[in-house]
Structures are given as structure tokens and as C-alpha cells.
Copies of this chain bind each other. A is one copy, B any other.
Amino acid sequence: MTKYTGKLYGIGVGPGDPELLTVKAVRLIAAAKIIAYAAPCATESASESMARTIAAPYFPDNIVEYPIRLPMVVERAPAQKIYREAAAVLREYLSAGQDVLVLCQGDPLFYGSFMYLLPHLQADFAVEIVPGISSLMAASASLQTPLVCRNQSLAVVPAPLPDVQLRAVLAAHDTVAVLKIGRHLPRLRRLLSDMGYLPHGYYVERASQAGEFFCPLADLPYELTEAAPYFAMILVRKPGMDGN
């Protein structure tokens, strides 16, 4: 006799606005018994999980919540250990026949945390992934600026990449989205100015969230030496991309 095991769901909850969850995500959350999500360590200042905050309006009563507490550090080793331990906990629920939802801000597989749990569990349990609206699409919607059309190409790069790599990508594509800006803002502004792309850059913070802010990169209110939030984005869209 085959034992019934639970199903693991990776659920994208979108960029911040609770109305930007999909109908499917809302249906699954409303029927959930066990909901996991990444959250900062309790000792850190921002102790709320963004994914939980976005999806909480749809939480049913009497669920088990499992916050996966991650320290905000650059090193991979502690996070790897925490995800391995979290996977072991979720494995218990799944083995007991219970479905588990893992919420992820944005899309689960686009710089999302779900991909760190997936390899520990996908061989043994049924998995379903519900895609989410990414910050990329949310930023473009807020700016009312096309990402790409026709035969244009798009690159998405994290700001910590070295200058030489960022320069090559900026030279090669029609549109480039630079994510995870944070302390790299001064370096990126210099680099884009050097390449003549400053007039073609847009800056977006907290797309679709309360406190959303965006402007042409040249009008940025940050001092030239100042850092931006980690989740800020710069969109560079080369001239000629007018969609006409």
C-alpha cells in the first residue's frame, strides 16, 4: 500500500500589493493548513516577513505558521544550513500527508528563496509552483515604461557584479534591469554616467508597495555617495525604444 504524502507548493505572492497575488495563490492560501515563509531573525530590526505581510489578508484561521528565520548576512553557509533544517521540518509534515505552502515575495524561482528548499524535497514529494508577479514587471508597470518589444533583448543583473561584467551587459542589450542596488548605488551612477546611459536610466524603490518611489535616474534625490535600499532597482532603456 502506498502511503499518502502531502504536496509542496511554492507560491509567488508578488511584489508587495496584496492585490497582485494571483487568483490561484489566493485559493491555495485560503485552503492552507501549514504555511512557511522566509523571515528575518527575531533579533534583527526588520523582524516581519515581507512574504507573510503581503499574503496575510488571505490567511485562514487556525493555520500552522513556520517562519524560516534567516540571518541577513552575505555568506552562504548559514543560510544553507537553515534551509536544510527547514526542509527537514517540512518533510515531517509532508510525510504525514499534509500539504505545505511556502510563500515567496515576487516569483518563487526568480531570485526567490523557494529554490533553496526545492532540491531537498522534490525527489520525494509532489511539487507545484505558482508563479508570481516579479519586481521587474511591477517596476516597469509603475514607470509606465516598456521592458522589451519585438526583437529586443533584456538582461537582468544584480548590482554586486563587477564593473567589467556590468559594462559588457549594458553595452549588449536594449534594456538592462540592475537589481539589489543597496550600497552599490554610487558605483552604478558613476558607471552609467561614464557610459552615457544616465539619461536613459530609471530608479524604482518598493514597486507596488506603500512608500513606492520612482524617478529618472538623473533626478535621484540620493546624495552621490549615499546607498539605496537593497530592493531598489535601476532600469536602463536605450534610446530608440519608443514602442512605435
Contact = CB atoms under 8 A, between A and B. Distances in A.
Interface string A146-169: 111111111111101100010011
Given A146-B109, A146-B115, A133 B22 contact: yes
A58 to B, nearest CB: 9
Copies of this protein in the complex: 2
Given A155-B154, A242-B119, A109 B141 contact: yes
A125 to B, nearest CB: 12
Contacts of A115: 146, 149, 243
Nearest to A244: B119
A149 B125 CA distance: 23
Interface stretch (A11-19, A34-42, A197-205): A11-19
A19 B128 CA distance: 14
Contacts of A12: 137
Given A146-B115, A151-B160, A131 B140 contact: yes
Interface string A101-113: 0000001111110
Nearest to A17: B24
Contacts of A158: 150-153
A3 interface: no
Contacts of A76: 150
A192 interface: no
A111 to B, nearest CB: 6
Interface of A: 10, 12, 14-15, 17-24, 26-27, 76, 80, 107-112, 115-116, 118-119, 122, 127, 129-134, 137-138, 140-142, 144-158, 160-161, 165, 168-169, 172-173, 208, 242-244
6 contacts: A10-B141, A107-B141, A116-B243, A119-B242, A134-B137, A154-B157
